[in-house]
Homo-oligomer: A and B are copies of this chain.
């Protein structure tokens, strides 16, 4: 079976300074609790009936291949504010899929969260799918020298 469908999810976020842009990203993953896994990026649907894992699996299995929808931003502009956010539109109808949206910008956290929630609303509208609830998570960071912000939805077994 190649085609598989996750049954649980959890939200993560973090930010970090780093030696390089990739080190900053790695640091943001560590701060999020997923820094020792192998993230596989995917486009961004919450399977029907997928439940939140709360608390998340800690520690996560090191080196495991983990499907994730995420937003991130790295910057090497000292003083710059960077924000990353993801939001999930949970549908009223539990037999339908939810929608995950990602957004990041050189902007305040509040702006980025509002935008990503709006994106979920519009995407659910496009599906004619009523929203029960929007969940969101975000990270914001003021860069010292080189920094990164990360927010993601991890899908899980």
> Shortest distance in angstroms between A97's beta carbon and chain B's nearest beta carbon?
4
Which residues between 1 and 53 of chain A lie within 8 Å of chain B, taking CB atoms? 1-6, 18-20, 22-23, 25-27, 29-30, 35-48, 50
State A43–B41 Cα separation when bound (angstroms).
9
Contacts A3-B156, A23-B119, A123-B23; is A63 near B38 (CB within 8 Å)?
A: no
| Chain B residues near A56 (CB-CB < 8 A) | none
Residue ID in chain B nearest A99 by CB atoms: B26
Contacts A2-B4, A4-B2, A62-B96; is A38 near B67 (CB within 8 Å)?
A: yes
Interface residues on chain A, number (Cβ under 8 Å): 55
Is the C-beta of A61 less than 8 angstroms from some C-beta in chain B?
A: yes
Contacts A62-B96, A123-B26; is A40 near B40 (CB within 8 Å)?
A: yes
